[in-house]
Amino acid sequence: MAVPADELAPDGAPAEDARARPTPDDHRPAGTGTRAAWRWAALFALPYLLLGAAWVASNPPSAAPDENHHLIKALGMGRLDIGEEYDEPLPAGPPLTRRNLSITRLVEVPVELAPDGYACFAFRPAVTADCLPDGSVAEDEDGDGEVVRDTPIGAYPPFTYVGMGLAARAQGSPAAAFYAARVVVLASCLALIVAGAWYLVRDLGPAALVGGFVALTPMALFTSATVTSSGIEITSAVAVAAIAVACLRRPGALSRPGVQLGLAVTGSVLVLSRQMGIVTLAVLLGIVAVARRHELWALVRSPRPAFVASVLILAASSAALVAWELAYDHPVDTGSPVDPAALDDFLARGDLLVKSAVGTFGWLDTPLPVWAVWAWGLLAVVVVGLGLVVGDRRDRAVLATGLAATAATAYGTYAAVFHPVGADSQGRHMLPFFVICPLYAGAVVVERVRAGRAPAALRLLPVVVGLVAGGVQLVALYANGRRYAVGLDGPLAFLGDERWHPPLGGWAAWLTVGGLGALALVATSAAATPEVGAGGTIDAAPPQGGHV
């Protein structure tokens, strides 16, 4: 960024205020206008709308980790009822059962919505979804229309379950309740995806979306279409990371009220989604605070209403989360996050963590084909690796911090939570920490291509990313469908042999919708190909046309 001579400090460095203030020649064509940004954000979300809708309908009710228990929690929160604490003595073992009971709550749910028997295929990959009951099989023994059900999800923060519960309680059967709650989750996740994409395109241009296609793995999309708060956690992390990337690449972005409020709103959703959301937000904001410390210090010295409101919003959401954790989340048999005794097991199970981050569906009993996992893994390595290679020292520091935070959190949570009870950690829990890496690396590569400081062949990176990501997303949908239609030991080409059919059109309809989503992903990514040597750089001030 060019800095006028009268804004240099005595040692020749840019003065503190000058670093945060855009100059006229900063208005370069990397970003786009507000209306165009909305169009690109909608185009970016369209594939996930189509693929997500296919996941909502084609994945059988309760075919996700503890989805029946998440539904019970949601049904309670539909009337703001967190349930009663489990008050029986804890058994001596097994360790995982003992742990789950320590965080279990008892919730009253409508008898016609109780999901009894809806996990009939869990951990039984040869059993198809035709084992599902036809409606509720719960018995209303006292005739009051309610039954008490336990949920080991009782300690999860309840805030994001209210909308799911309201939609579920308006239904007449457990299956309909699952589908309705899933629609709420998907709509919430899509809104977060659109928000993150808008900020990214508004400041960095459409080509900067390339990393987003890598960050949103099939597992991220799967969880965004099931009754759980994990999808909201992942997509809110994507939104926060996208805004953070815009702040990191454009001087002055953090000083804009719209950016501050965007970070506050999406960050609050992240904090309130799951227990680790507040840690994820701290990592992302910490990276921004260090890299843009001069802008941040200027905001602290002369706070304006939007900045004060943003700080208060984040403080209130953090306080709500901490209050909940102190009052209700007291699991037994936890360990130290730095316990060296867990290291060998953690390393031995590392491949399971990676696989489940890309795609291990159902109750973690429905794997994505190995070649598809490798394809996505290689794609992530290429994108992040290119960012490390073509980026400067600051870029490498940001990426190294993101990777280190992901690895450290993965080990810390395994050592403290999973190792003491002999369970495996799940990759979807690490995705919120990882998403900044492909998002930031993609932005760096695009900047270098536009500035003519990277090989011209890299302009095709969005095309490659779109082809691989679109193909694997469709394969994931098909592999999951096959498992519930004919079982994992059934025919590979299962259409015509299926024993369970999804609602509203069957397999042909929803695989077609998923196929259209995959094609839309390829088309959108290809359309965002950057121009080689187009001039300008992403590391610039906002384009003309407004400062949001």
Query: Taking the domains of the chain in order of start, what are their residue ranges?
Result: 39-543
Q: Check residue 18 and give its pLDDT.
A: 37
Sequence-distant (6+) residues with CB within 8 A of 201 are 31, 32, 36, 37, 40, 41, 44, 208, 209
Residue 39 is which amino acid? Answer: R
Q: Which DSSP category does 8 fall into?
A: B
The residue behind tokens 């490390």 is 388
* Model pTM score: 0.90
The Cα 268–Cα 277 span in angstroms is 9
Alpha-carbon 93 to chain mean position: 34
pLDDT in tens, 375-406: 999 999 999 999 999 999 999 999 999 999 99
The enclosing H or E element of 109 equals strand 105-110
Residue 143's region, left for phi above 0, alpha for psi from -120 to 50, else beta, is left
Q: Check residue 141 and give its pLDDT.
A: 82
Cβ neighbours, 10 Å, residue 227: 33
Q: Check residue 544 and give its pLDDT.
A: 36
Residues paired with 366 in a beta bridge: 361
All residue ranges of the chain with pLDDT < 50 are 1-29, 536-548
Q: Check residue 534 and give its pLDDT.
A: 58
Q: Check residue 535 and give its pLDDT.
A: 52
Answer whether 193's CB lies under 8 Å from 235's CB.
yes
Give the pair of three-digit tokens for residue 58.
């084609």
Candidates 67, 238, 270, 244; CA nearest to 159 is 270
The Cα 46–Cα 233 span in angstroms is 20
N- to C-terminal Cα distance for the chain? 21
